[in-house]
Every structure is written in structure tokens, then in C-alpha cells.
Amino acid sequence: MTRLGDSVARASALLAQNLSSDSTVEQLLTETKARRYLDLTDLSAKEQAELIAARSVEVLPGADKLAERIEERRAEGRGLGIKLGIDPTAADMHLGHAVPVIILSRFQRMGHDVTLLIGDFTAKIGDPSGRTAERPPLTDEDIARNLAGYRGQVRPFVDFEKVSFRQNSEWLAPYTFPELLGLLAQVPVSQLLQREDFRSRLAAGSGLTMSELLYPIAQALDSVALECDVELGGADQLLNLQMGRKLMELRGQQPQLVVTMPLIEGTDGTGAKMSKSKNNYVGLTSSADDVFGKIMSIPDRLMEPYLKAWTEWTDEEIALALSRIEEKSLHPMDLKKILAGEVVAALYGVEAATAARAGFTAQFSKKSFHDVGTLPSVDAGEHGGEGIAAILTRVLEFTPSASAARRIAKQNGLRLVVETGGGQETVVLPEADALRPLAEVVPEKLAEAGVSGTVYLKAGRKVAEIKGL
């Protein structure tokens, strides 16, 4: 049996046990955390290709071709050349950015040669993928500042001692205009305009600069310079990655294989991609408690894609856990706590994950919100004239938008919780009340319910005390 097979056997035995048990969960996290550093060189070429394909949206031209390329390189006594390009567009990373790095780590542990390509030159153009408008280019100072923190933030997911770093200014900066013209003469404009985002912008009358049009060419030249076997990228990068295959063919090179990864949905469950602008992200520099709490706030349907994105669980293990939920021998909340623990363990270790789990359980198993000393609050005297949805968005920052607050209400997740001497009374607020002023809704609902006491506003799993009533 392979080393991965041994680990899966141990973890599967734990997954069949009582997963509400802290000690069992700690054993499981210890096993799966160690798997992040597991030597995978004993896997066959077919097993390696299948493991990569299981976490990819597409492997082009196919997982079988990936296995063949692995065999070819093994016969030559070397590993594949794997490239992941990074445009240093932000100083702070979130879990969505970790997805391709985790795949890169698996290739690395399979014995392949991995390169992180820093797009210092292309960052000055700005990747137009998925954008409805031109992105402002970055300056040298922007790039230096953003790169400074990148390595530390993704360090938990990859061994930098075995990574080659290159900057594409090495070959793009000296590229001459005659060389560029000769290359462009072989690339149909129609191929560049196949991009849906380009077509949409042109149809809407929005601007499209020549630098954006040439971005896929610049990225493809990176693959030519590095003579890649495989390039990784998000699903929105597919056409850029395919351009790399075309240019490598034009240069007489063996075309790279393409591995695309899913774009992970944000924690708010609205369907939007995880991003800082949507405030639906988990930052790689967030505290262990904050990471744990944000993962616990996700809808249950996101557990499977999150397990696939950020853990080292195999399909077999994920299927085992999900089947137990269907059989009702495992509560979804218990699986979500394990998922949250997995993410914290990846960033901060098993001990921190265990502490975050204990802290979350202590806080949310309390019979009274009054016992929780860290709850935020909203002053009804100051904000009572504002709509509840606006308060959740602008004052408490519980939701990324008013429409998201309304969706929570539509799902019966918006509530008033009144604590009296005898316990708690809950009043569900319909979607229409989410648009009404807080100072109108609260007295009206309390009068209808015939209750009084300390009032809390609850949106999903987030709770705030209402003061000044």
C-alpha cells in the first residue's frame, strides 16, 4: 500500500467513529495535517494524475495525457516542470488564493519541479480575466509591497525550499517590437476575442485596450520561456493557458498540459466568488478564532467544495463523511467543526485548531447571550431610523450588501432573540421587515409576542445586542 493509502485507512477508521468527540477529532486533524507534508513519490503515474484531476475543473488534453507525460519524464530521470503564475495584485491573500498553491504542493510532493512565476511585468498590464472594466496597472512600488507578504501568507501550504522563483520581466522586458510583430502575425485576432469577458465589454460599449488584448500573449510567453510541462490556473484563466499551448507549438516545443481549478464560492453563500470586495472571504492572516468562526458560518452545501478545496481528504473520505450525514449518524454541525478545524490546523497547527474549536463550542453552547462578552452591539438611539438590512451591512458589517441581508431573511435566518429571566424567545423577521427601520420593527414585534427583556439581532449565525431601546 502507498503512504497515502496508509493515511487514508487510518483517517477512514476515525471518520467512522463519534465525530462529536474532541479527542477523535484531534486525532483526525493530526493525521490529515501530517498528510500535507506526505511524500507522494510512491504513487504511480496514473494515481498521480487521478489525484490531481480529482481536484481540478479540467485537465487538458486529459488526465491520461498527464499520466503519459509523467511517465515520459520519469524515463528521462526527472519530474514534470510545473508553473503557477502569480500577479502580485494584492498585499493580503485569502483562502481562495490558496487553492492553486495546494495543488502546486501536491505536484511538489510527487517529485516534480515547481516554479512560482512572479508576474512583475504583466502586473503592470493587469489581467483582464473576468473583469467588466480595465484594471488599473500596478507600479513597481505596488508590486514590491504586495510581494513582500505573499510568501509568508502561503507558506503553510508549500515548501519554499523546493520552489524555483522566476520573474517574467526577465524575458518580457527585453522582448523587441519586431519579435512581437512576428509573433502576432501567427495569432488570429478572433482567437483573442473568444474571451467572453472581452465580448461582453465590447457589446456594452466599454473600453478594451491593446495591452489587455495582449495579456494572454504575454502570459503565454512565460510558458515558452520556462518550457513548462504543466501550467496551473483558475477556471477563468483557461483561454490564457491555452494560448500558452499554442505559442509553445509555434516555437516547436512540446505543448504544456493545462490544469484549471475551481473558483471558490464565498462564505456568505450567495454564489459570489470569494473576494475581499464582497467581504465573503477568509483571510490567511486572520486569527485562528476568526477563521474557525467564518467557516462555521457557511451554509451546509458549501462543506463538500470546501473540503475538496482546502483539505487533503480524498474523494473516498469525503464520500464517507457525507454518507454518514445522509444516514443521520453524523450531524452536519460536527462535520463543519472538523472542516473549520482543518483550515485552522493548516494555518496555525492542530493545537490552535483544538483551542479554536473549544472556544467556539464554549461561546455558542451558552444558554444566554449575556454570558458572551465579545458580542457586537448596535445603538437603537443612534441607528434606529435606519433599515435593518442597512444596519446589518453598514453598521455591523454582518452582510456584504442589503440584498444579502434580505436573502438571509427570506431563508428565515433573520431574527430577534429576547432574553428574559425564564430563557430566550425568538421572533422570526420576514423579508419585508428587513427593509423597515429598526426602531419601528423591534417595539412592534415585542408587543405582538408579549415579551420584554434584553434584545438581540441575529442574522444567520451572527448576533448583536440592540441597546438604547
pLDDT tens string 395-453 = 888 888 888 888 888 877 888 888 876 677 888 899 899 899 998 989 998 888 888 88
Average pLDDT over residues 197-223: 81
Q: What is the pLDDT of residues 86-108, one digit of tens each?
A: 877 666 788 888 999 999 999 99
Q: Is the pLDDT of residue 216 over 50?
A: yes
Q: Which CATH number fits domain 377-467: 3.10.290, 1.10.357, 1.20.120, 1.10.3470?
A: 3.10.290
More confidently predicted of 449 and 344: 344
Looking at the DSSP bridge assignments, the partners of residue 462 are: 459
* Residues 6 or more apart whose Cβ sits within 8 Å of residue 415: 426, 427, 428, 429, 457, 458
Looking at the DSSP bridge assignments, the partners of residue 85 are: 117
Q: How far apart are CA 387 and CA 434, in angstroms?
A: 7
- Dihedral-angle region of residue 454 (phi above 0 means left; psi in -120 to 50 means alpha; beta otherwise): beta
Q: Which CATH number fits domain 57-261: 3.30.428.10, 3.40.50.360, 3.40.50.620, 3.30.2130.10?
A: 3.40.50.620
414-420 and 377-379: which strand pairing?
unpaired
Quick one: pLDDT at residue 127? 52
- Helical residues (DSSP H) of 188-237, grouped into ranges: 189-192, 196-203, 210-213, 215-226
Quick one: pLDDT at residue 133? 45
DSSP string, 356-370: HHHHHHHHHT-S-GG
Q: Is the pLDDT of residue 129 over 60?
A: no
| Residue 68 C-alpha from the chain's centroid | 30
Q: Is the pLDDT of residue 70 over 50?
A: yes
Q: Which three cell numbers stand for residue 288?
A: 485562528
Quick one: pLDDT at residue 366? 57
* CA max distance for the chain: 82
Q: Is the pLDDT of residue 132 over 50?
A: no
CA nearest to 348, candidates 29, 8, 110: 29
> Residue 41: CA atoms inside 13 Å, Cβ hemisphere, count?
10
Q: Which residue has the cell 498528510?
A: 35
The total of other beta-carbon atoms located within 10 Å of residue 124's CB is 17
The total of other beta-carbon atoms located within 10 Å of residue 55's CB is 17
CA angle at residue 459 from 327 to 390, to 5 degrees?
150
Quick one: pLDDT at residue 126? 55
- Mean pLDDT score of the chain: 87
Average pLDDT over residues 356-384: 76
Q: Is the pLDDT of residue 145 over 80?
A: no
Among positive and negative, which fits the CA dihedral 167, 171, 173, 174? positive
The domain ranges of the chain are 57-261, 377-467
Quick one: pLDDT at residue 134? 47
Q: How far apart are CA 338 and CA 340, in angstroms?
A: 5
Residues 356 and 371 sit within 8 Å (Cβ to Cβ): no
Q: How far apart are CA 347 and CA 94, in angstroms?
A: 11
Average pLDDT over residues 297-302: 90
Q: How far apart are CA 306 and CA 320, in angstroms?
A: 16
Q: Is the pLDDT of residue 321 over 70?
A: yes
Q: Is the pLDDT of residue 309 over 80?
A: yes
Banded pLDDT at 10 (limits 50, 70, 90): very high
Q: How far apart are CA 258 and CA 175, in angstroms?
A: 25
Quick one: pLDDT at residue 248? 95
Residues 284 and 158 sit within 8 Å (Cβ to Cβ): no
More confidently predicted of 17 and 448: 17
Q: What is the DSSP letter of 256?
A: P
Q: What is the pLDDT of residues 236-293, one digit of tens each?
A: 888 889 999 999 999 999 999 999 999 999 998 888 898 887 888 898 888 999 999 9
* Percentage of residues in the chain having pLDDT higher than 90: 49
Q: Is the pLDDT of residue 193 over 60?
A: yes
Quick one: pLDDT at residue 57? 95
Q: What is the DSSP letter of 235?
A: G
Banded pLDDT at 138 (limits 50, 70, 90): low
Among positive and negative, which fits the CA dihedral 446, 450, 453, 457? negative
Say what the alpha-carbon torsion angle 80, 86, 92, 95 is, to the nearest 10 degrees.
-40
Quick one: pLDDT at residue 90? 65
The total of other beta-carbon atoms located within 10 Å of residue 68's CB is 15
